[in-house]
Amino acid sequence: MTTPAYSPGLEGVIAGETAIGTVEGGLSYRGYFVGDLVEHASFDETAYLLLHGELPTAAQLAAFRERVAAARRLPPPLKDLLAALPKWTAPLDALRTSVSALAHFDQDASDLSHDANVRKAERLLAQIPVAIADHYHLSRGGNPLPARQELDTAANFLYMIRGTDPSPEEVKALDVSLILYAEHEFNASTFAARVIASTLSDLHCAVTGAIGALKGPLHGGANEKVVDILTAAGDTPEAVEKWVRDALARKERIMGFGHRVYKTGDVRAGILKTFARKVADAAGTAGIEDRADVIERVMAAEKNMYPNLDWPAGRLYHAMRLEIPLYTPIFAMSRITGWAAHVIEQLDHNRLIRPRALYTGPARRPVTPIGERG
C-alpha cells in the first residue's frame, strides 16, 4: 500500500477549489488585485464583491448599504447578555458569543440556501461591529451608542466606539485596513469555517468556529503584540536595533513578521504602511513608525523576514487611539466577508471535508485481560 503524501500543517497542500480569492501573484479578490481595490473601491464595495461575486453598480451599492445599515442593531436579550459578562471577558470572546447568540434571533439561521446565506452574511456584516462597540461600552459600565445609518462601515464603527465623528483620514485608513483583512484564501479560520460548513452546519456555527480559530496568536492575535514590541524596543534607533538583535540572538519570535505563504513579503503590509505613517504623523506618534522601520531593516538583513499585514495594522490602530483588545475583533469585523463568502461557496458545491491522518502509534496488538495486566 502506497503511503499518501504528508505535509505537516498541510503546508503547500491544495485542499479545495475557490473562486473567491488567491494569494498567487500577491492577493486578489475575485480577480481584482487588492491594491487596485484600495485605490478605486471602498470596503463596502469590497464586501459586496465578496458576497455577491461582482463589484456593485452605484444603485446596487446604495441598496446594499441601506440593507446593512438597517441591520445595525442587536436583539435586547443579547445586549443584556453582553452587559452580564464578567468585566474581564476579552472582546473577541464576547464577539464569539454574540455571533452564536445571534443565530437564535435570525429566522434564516437553519436555511442553507444560497439566498438565505447571503441575507445572513449581510446581517452579520452589520451586527458584528455593533456587538464589538456595544460590549466595549458595556464592559466599562457605559451605555452603547446607536449606530448611524448614514455612515459607511468604517466611519460608523469609529463613531460607535468614540462617540465623535472621526476625521476623513482616519476613516480612509480604517477602510483600507478592512479591505486588506477581508479575505485570504484558505487561512486557518476560513478553512475551519469551511470544514464546519461541509458537515451541512449553518453560517452562524461556521463563523463562530472561525472566530475561535482567529483567537490563536499564530493567526489573528499578532496585531495586538505590535505596540508591545515597539514599546519594549526603546526610543532611539540604536536602542531599537540592539533590542531586535538581542531578541533574535535569544531566538525570540518577532510577531508581525513572516508568513506561511508570503516568503518575500506581504503586499498588504506595504500598502497599509503608507496609511499607518499618515495617521501616525497626524496623531503625533511618528516615533513608532521610525522604530518600526529599524526593526524591518534588521529583520530583512538578518533573517530574510518581512512584515505581514498585522505589523502596520497594529501601529495604525494604535495611532487611531483604539485600545489593543479591539484589534483582533476589527480583523473579524472585516473577515466576516471572506468567511461568509467561503461558507456560501462551500455549501453551494458541498463535499464533506474529511482528510486522513498519518498514524504514528503502536502496531495492532491484542487486548490483555485486566487481571493479567502489569
Q: What is the mean pLDDT of each run of 10 residues along the chain (374 residues)?
A: 75 89 93 98 98 98 98 98 96 98 97 98 98 97 96 98 96 98 96 98 98 90 87 90 94 83 82 96 93 94 92 95 96 98 98 93 96 91
Distances in whole angstroms, Cα of residue 196 to Cα of each of 114, 347, 353: 16, 10, 9
pLDDT given for residue 277 in this prediction: 96
pLDDT given for residue 220 in this prediction: 82
Calpha distance 45→62 (Å, rounded): 10
Residue 86 backbone dihedrals phi, psi, to 5 degrees: -55, 145
* CA-closest candidate to residue 157, choices 141, 142, 135: 135
Calpha distance 110→104 (Å, rounded): 10
pTM for this entry:
0.94
Orientation of helix 310-319 relative to helix 267-283, angle to 10°: 20
Calpha distance 129→158 (Å, rounded): 10
Orientation of helix 286-303 relative to helix 310-319, angle to 10°: 170
Q: Which residues are catalytic?
A: 259, 310
Q: Residue for cell digits 482528510?
A: 355
Contact 210, 340 (CB under 8 A): no
